Structure 1
Amino acid sequence: MSKKNTITTKAKLFLDEVGDITYFAIRFFREVFTSPFERKEFLRQCYQMGNRSLVLVGVTGFILGLVFTLQSRPTLAELGATSWMPSMVSLSIVREIGPVIFALICAGRIGSGIGAELGSMKVTEQIDAMEVSGTNPFKYLVVTRILATTLMLPLLILMGDAIALFGSAIIENLKGEVSYLLYFNKVFDALQFSDLLPATIKSFFFGFVIGLIGCYKGYNCSKGTVGVGKASNDAVVYTSMLLFVIDFIAVFITDIFFEI
């Protein structure tokens, strides 16, 4: 096969994948507004994705705050600007670093879990059995999981940001003898509503993408155990790429909005 044909084939497969994911998302929005709503499964998924991811996000945020402050402090000390440390750390974490890092962490934990779980159900024909029994598997399995990730991820990111700032405050207290009260007073003086709102809005899109890609890959898993592993791996890879794309679009739109 020639190089041109190979590129054409890959482009066609990519466009087919984009079309299938788009149709999958449209089907989600169509199903989410129809009754019945699987309330118990939705709450269970919120617990699975939110509560059980809290420790991972918390540890990541705490270490992020420690390392970021330790790495930044010597440079600011050379410039005589250590008093800017609370505002710099808080703006960096809340605006950009926190949402992206925590979304990637959740993509690895939640996205791969959804892909593997639905993939194994597809391979063992449990989804087909649900259709035969009269249950709507898409509403029960897909809608609840996408809604849960969309709702839980912003909460996890806010919690991770708070823990990261606490870790930064510990370093400042030990290295610069800055009291916790003074540190957080400077943090809240630096942060504005315009800093928190865009980060929170894009975190909803992050959660939606994690749930959508994980469910799509698992729900359309190929037969066999190899397909389950591939679905789990593809869910993480595709989601990570889309998170960066969404983040770029969100930052671009935010800059245009606040410039106007």
Structure 2
Amino acid sequence: MENLQPIETMLAQLIGFLPKLITAIVIFVAALFLSSWLANVAARAMKRRNLDTELILLLRRVVRITVLILGTIQALAQVDFNVTGFVAGLGIVGFTVGFAMQDVTKNFAAGILLLLQQPFDIGDSIEVAGHSGTVRDITLRTTEIRTWDGRDVFIPNGDVYVKAITNYSRDPRRRLQISVSVDKDWDFENLTEIVLGSLKHGKGVLEEPITEAVWTTSTEGKTELTAFYWVDTSQVDLRSAQNAGLAAVRAALSAAAEETAFSVKAPLIEAA
């Protein structure tokens, strides 16, 4: 009988442990189902907000993993596992890995914030971190831009997030300017009417904001008129609008100037 006592003790311990084990298994299985259900609920809610597909997949995965971790910790606690030490160990490992990969983590976090805030979308024309072009892709690590001269630039999201972003596509209205230099013997009011009148009827030119002009006098005895006009880039691209404006002003002045000298110029436009 003495030889059976250790076995009886083990059986008693096993019987006492069995309810805890069953409870732990039930909690873990419940966490599996709950994590999938909550992840799907979160994904449907985010789809209704028209969030980026990649962001939805990421947040869905985060919800599922978070619920699984919490469920696993609760399950381990049922079988008298040292959960406190386990969590502390995970914290130390997480801190070490996070410190070693802080740049990756920064870009990752910035990517999530960019996808949530959506300061620009794929296809938008933007200027950021010294680069201008069309957004081709937005990932969790980088933003890809096709520059005006055809280069593909991959900018870390950490840089994109902290830099000023100019989104040319958010509002299709853009202001252009054309400068006309003439001798002082011109009738300024007549010249203003000719220049502004030639610009108003171009393709995509808007009535509001109004087309206007500013006069300045140079040290060389010349007078310069700078005309400002607004175009709708959903109807015409900037370069075409500027070229059409230059041609219209030159044609109108040539018809009115007879033999009086004039020059017409406009600043270089990089954005399409």
The TM-score range, normalised by the shorter chain, is: under 0.3
Higher helix share: 1
Greater relative contact order (Cα 8 A, min sep 6): structure 1 or 2? 1
Higher strand share: 2
Larger radius of gyration between Structure 1 and Structure 2: 2
Structure-1-length-normalised TM-score: 0.21
